[in-house]
Structure 1
Amino acid sequence: TNCAIKKMSSESSKWRSDESRVLLSVSNKDLRICRQVNARKILVLLVLISAFTIICYAHYVLNSPLGLMHRDTVPTPIVQCKLSSGSTYQQKNHKTEARLRIDPKVLVFVETTYTQLGRDIAELLVHTRIKYKLEVSGKSLPVLTNLDKGRYGVIVFENIEKYFSMDKWNRELLDKYCREYAVGIIGFMKPNEETLVGAQLQGFPLYIHTNLRLEDASLNGKSPVLRMVRSGETAKGPLPGQDWTIFKPNHTTYEPLALAKHNDNTVNTVIQDHGRLDGIQRILFGSGFKFWLHRLLFLDALSYLSHGQLSLSLNRALLVDIDDIFVGEKGTRLKTNDVQALLDTQERISKMVPGFKFNLGFSGKYFHHGTYEENQGDDMILKNAQKFMWFSHMWNHQQPHLYDNLTVLMQDMMLNKDFAVSKGIPITSGYSVSPHHSGVYPVHELLYKAWKKVWNIKVTSTEEYPHLRPARLRRGFQHRDIMVLPRQTCGLFTHTMFIQRYPGGRKKLDEAIQGGELFQTIVYNPINIFMTHMSNYGSDRLALYTFESVIKFLRCWTNLKLTSAPAVTLGESYFRQHADEVDPVWGNPCEDPRHIKIWSRSKSCDSLPRFLVIGPQKTGTTALYTFLLMHPSISSNLPSADTFEEIQFFNAANYYNGLDWYMNFFPVNNTSKYMFEKSATYFDGDQVPRRVHALLPKAKLVAILISPAKRAYSWYQHMKSHNDPVANNYSFYQIVTASDNSPKSLRDLRNRCLNPGKYSQHLERWLAYYDAQHLHIIDGDLLKSNPIEVLHDLQKFLKITPLYDYSQHLKYDTKKGFFCPLTQTNHTKCLGRSKGRLYPPMDDKTMKLLQRYYQTHNTALVKLLKKLGSRPIPQWLKNDLSITT
Structure 2
Amino acid sequence: MLTSLSFYTHSNFLLLTHMHMYKVEVAGKSLPVLTNLDKGRYGVLIFENLNKYLQMDKWNRELLDKYCREYSVGIVGFTPPAEESLVGAQLKGFPLFVHTNLRLKDAQLNAASPILRLTRAGETAWGPLPGYDWTIFQANHSTYEPLAWAHRDNLDYSHNRSPLATVMQDHGRYDGIQRVFFGGGLKFWLHKLLLLDSLSYLSHGQLSLSLNRMILVDVDDIFVGEKGTRLKKDDVLALLATQQRIQALVPGFRFNLGFSGKYFHHGTSEENLGDDMILENVDRFVWPSAQLHVYTRTHTCALGDRSALHVYIYIEIHKRAFLLPPRRFTWFSHMWNHQQPHLYENVTHLQMDMMLNKQFAKEHGIPTTSGYSVSPHHSGVYPVHEGLYEAWKRVWNIKVTSTEEYPHLRPARLRRGFVHRGIMVLPRQTCGLFTHTIFIERYPGGRDKLDESIQGGELFQTIVYNPINIFMTHMSNYGNDRLALYTFESVIKFIQCWTNLRLSSAPPLQLGERYFQMYSEETDPVWGNPCDDQRHQKIWSKNKTCDQLPRFLVIGPQKTGTTALYTFLSLHPAISSNLPSPDTFEEIQFFNGKNYYKGLDWYMSFFPVTKNESLRYLFEKSATYFDGELVPRRAHALLPKAKLITILLSPARRAYSWYQHTKVHGDVIAKNYSFHSVITATDTAPKALRDLRNRCLNPGKYAQHLERWLSYYPAQQLHIIDGEQLRQNPVETLHELQRFLKITPTFNYSTHLRYDPKKGFFCQVTNEDRTKCLGKSKGRQYPPMEDRSYKFLQRYYLSHNTALVKLLKRLGSRTIPQWLKEDLTDTVMT
TM-score by length of 2: 0.93
1:289 maps to 186
2:794 maps to 851
Partners of 1:470 and 1:407 lie apart in 2 by 36
1:488 maps to 429
1:234 maps to 124
How has the CA–CA distance of structure 1 residues 630 and 871 changed in structure 2, closer, same or farther, with 3 Å as cutoff? farther
Partners of 1:361 and 1:690 lie apart in 2 by 36
C-alpha contact 1:200 1:207 (8 A) present in aligned 2: yes
Letter paired with 1:467: H
Q: Which stretch has the larger CA shift, 137-146 or 251-260? A: 137-146
Partners of 2:171 and 2:806 lie apart in 1 by 47
Partners of 1:788 and 1:772 lie apart in 2 by 24
Match of 2:570 among 624, 629, 641: 629
Partners of 1:874 and 1:669 lie apart in 2 by 40
2:45 maps to 155
1:127 maps to 17
RMSD, aligned α-carbons: 0.9
Partners of 2:465 and 2:69 lie apart in 1 by 30
Letter paired with 1:847: Y
Q: Structure 1: which 4+ aligned runs deviate by more than 3 Å?
A: none
Partners of 1:821 and 1:775 lie apart in 2 by 26
Matches within 5 A, 1:12-411: 103-110=1-8, 118-119=9-10, 121-262=11-152, 263=158, 264-386=161-283, 387-411=328-352
Partners of 1:618 and 1:850 lie apart in 2 by 16
SS in structure 2 of the partner of residue 460 of structure 1: strand
1:822 lines up with 2:765 in the alignment: yes
Match of 2:599 among 651, 658, 663: 658
Match of 1:691 among 606, 610, 634: 634
CA deviation map 1:665-707 (0-9, x unaligned): 0011432111100000000000000000000010000000001
CA deviation map 1:714-762 (0-9, x unaligned): 1111101110111111111111111111111111111111111111110
Match of 1:733 among 672, 676, 695: 676
Match of 2:706 among 742, 763, 768: 763
Partners of 2:415 and 2:610 lie apart in 1 by 32
1:29 maps to none
2:490 maps to 549
SS in structure 2 of the partner of residue 265 of structure 1: coil
SS in structure 2 of the partner of residue 269 of structure 1: strand
SS in structure 1 of the partner of residue 429 of structure 2: coil
Match of 1:456 among 391, 394, 397: 397
Letter paired with 2:749: Y
CA deviation map 1:596-621 (0-9, x unaligned): 00000110001110000000000000
Displacement of 1:297 in angstroms is 0.1
C-alpha contact 1:810 1:819 (8 A) present in aligned 2: yes
C-alpha contact 1:233 1:557 (8 A) present in aligned 2: yes
Partners of 2:505 and 2:272 lie apart in 1 by 30
2:584 maps to 643
Partners of 1:799 and 1:193 lie apart in 2 by 52
CA deviation map 1:193-237 (0-9, x unaligned): 211111100011000111111111111111111100011111112
1:875 lines up with 2:818 in the alignment: yes
SS in structure 2 of the partner of residue 231 of structure 1: coil
Letter paired with 1:217: A
2:372 maps to 431
Match of 1:774 among 710, 713, 717: 717
2:804 maps to 861
1:592 lines up with 2:490 in the alignment: no
Partners of 2:43 and 2:270 lie apart in 1 by 60
Structure 2 unaligned blocks of 5 or more: 153-157, 284-327
C-alpha contact 1:635 1:676 (8 A) present in aligned 2: yes
Partners of 2:708 and 2:418 lie apart in 1 by 23
Letter paired with 1:160: L
Partners of 2:805 and 2:426 lie apart in 1 by 45
Letter paired with 1:250: N
Partners of 2:561 and 2:581 lie apart in 1 by 20
Q: Which stretch has the larger CA shift, 138-147 or 539-548? A: 138-147
Letter paired with 2:171: H
C-alpha contact 1:607 1:669 (8 A) present in aligned 2: no
Letter paired with 2:764: P
Percent identity over the alignment is: 74
1:837 lines up with 2:780 in the alignment: yes
SS in structure 1 of the partner of residue 771 of structure 2: coil
TM-score by length of 1: 0.87
1:609 lines up with 2:550 in the alignment: yes
CA deviation map 1:122-177 (0-9, x unaligned): 11111111121111122421111111121111111111011100112221221111
C-alpha contact 1:403 1:409 (8 A) present in aligned 2: yes
Letter paired with 1:853: Y
Displacement of 1:430 in angstroms is 0.2
Displacement of 1:871 in angstroms is 4.5
Aligned residue pair count:
775
SS in structure 2 of the partner of residue 385 of structure 1: coil
SS in structure 2 of the partner of residue 297 of structure 1: helix
